[in-house]
Amino acid sequence: LYQSYIGGAIALVLMVAIMDLISGEKILTTILRCLKCAGVVVAGSLLNILIYTKSMEYYGINATDRVQNFTFSTIISELPKSVKESYLYFFNYFKDDMLNRNYLYAILGILFIIGLAGALFCFIKNSDGSEKKLAIVKSVAIIILIAIAPLAMNIIHILIPYYRVSGLMQYHYVLILPFTIALLRKCGIHYYFIQPVMTVVVVLLTFTYVISANATNLSLKASYLANETQVNLILSDIYDLEGYIPNATDIVFGGVPSEAASQYGLEIYEFEIGLNSKNQAFWEGMSGVTLSRMHYLLNYCGIDAGYLTDDDYYDIVGTEEFEEMPVWPEAGSVKMINGKAAVKLSYDYPKREEE
């Protein structure tokens, strides 16, 4: 949730600034408060980086590629695309049709527009003579802040454009709910009339998230049960290999197993969480076939499958012998290659990019 926390913190800074301006706070005071809040976010982030850097040095852990590749030139070159995607991610989140959730968000959007328009109208109307022009300037500033809110919420996506982490930056979008309520309370419409509608929307949205979260939990549970069965069967084949020594011979997994058999007969929602490739045990790509597998076998099975570098992995899957192997569980899908136990789980496995 760390990516979501940073975006959420910055979004809260903007929301507080907007409420300050509508409440008649001075512009300079609002700016100083924003800088103070932003300073806390930056200071917290720097402290977090310092602690993790020292911890990694102490334990001898290397940073991942997405951290090592952080450069300002990449941020600038990818900025147009990152800005566009930030708005797409934000608005697509509210178009989610899971359990007809999008209709509730449509009602919420209407209430948000009513609240914003009403709050700004009352703010300008209640301003006296010379204060009216300043109220108009503040109103324009408020509209600009709201317009850039999706960028603030997706700040990590802008800072790390080469590694898409949009899925981890959506939790704080729900801040739109209390913000809408705050705006409605500021407008001239009688709040007791809108409050029941807002309450119903919040209750129904909460209900849909409880249902979908439970379905997600069932999906994760099914994935772990399926993985446990598959891993035990794969290990049985590995133990039968001549030359394999438990906790001494490295194990190389090529790809992830097919999900078709695991999904058969499961009456659960079809979320993005796959039974093998997109859950908390095994990720996709190199992390899934090397680190995730190694940690799973070590933590859940008590087996040391060996730490593989990318070159170690590519040296095995790049051999002609591995390429000609069938996919597990067919005969010949588990072999000893160059002193390592190789398991081919799919034909679509990470391969070394041609230079």
Q: What is the pLDDT of residues 144-166, one digit of tens each?
A: 999 999 988 888 888 777 555 56
Higher per-residue pLDDT: 58 or 100: 100
Residue whose pair of structure tokens reads 């290659």 in the numeric block: 337
Residue whose pair of structure tokens reads 């948000």 in the numeric block: 112
Q: Answer whether residue 66 shows pLDDT above 60.
A: no
DSSP state of 189: S
Q: What is the pLDDT of residues 253-269, one digit of tens each?
A: 887 776 655 554 555 44
Pairing of strands 251-254, 340-344: parallel
Q: Where are the alpha helices (DSSP H) in 78-190?
A: 79-93, 101-125, 129-147, 149-153, 155-159, 176-186
- Mean pLDDT over all residues of the chain? 80
At 1, the pLDDT band (50, 70, 90 cuts) reads very low
Task: Quote the crossing angle between the two packed helices 27-59 and 129-147, to the nearest 10°.
Answer: 30
- Burial (CB < 10 A; 0-12, 13-18, 19+), residue 25, is middle
Q: What is the pLDDT of residues 228-239, one digit of tens each?
A: 888 888 899 999
| Average pLDDT rounded to a whole number, residues 72-87 | 86
Extract the tokens encoding 130: 């010379």
Spell out a b/e string for 100-139, using b for 16 or more CB atoms within 10 Å of the CB, else e. ebeebbeebeebbebbbebbbeebbeebeeeeeeebeebb
At 93, the pLDDT band (50, 70, 90 cuts) reads confident
Q: Answer whether residue 39 shows pLDDT above 90.
A: no
| Average pLDDT rounded to a whole number, residues 171-190 | 79
User: What pLDDT does 263 receive?
Assistant: 54
| Average pLDDT rounded to a whole number, residues 7-15 | 86
| Average pLDDT rounded to a whole number, residues 91-110 | 86
- Burial (CB < 10 A; 0-12, 13-18, 19+), residue 154, is buried
Q: Answer whether residue 282 shows pLDDT above 80.
A: no
> Looking at this protein, which amino acid is placed at residue 168?
L
> Looking at this protein, which amino acid is placed at residue 102?
N
| Average pLDDT rounded to a whole number, residues 46-59 | 78
Number of H helices, E strands in the chain: 16, 3
Tell me the sheet residues that pair with 342.
Answer: 252, 335
Give dist(CA 277, CA 285) in Å, integer.
9
Q: Answer whether residue 272 shows pLDDT above 50.
A: no
- Burial (CB < 10 A; 0-12, 13-18, 19+), residue 34, is middle
> Looking at this protein, which amino acid is placed at residue 197?
V
Extract the tokens encoding 243: 């030359």
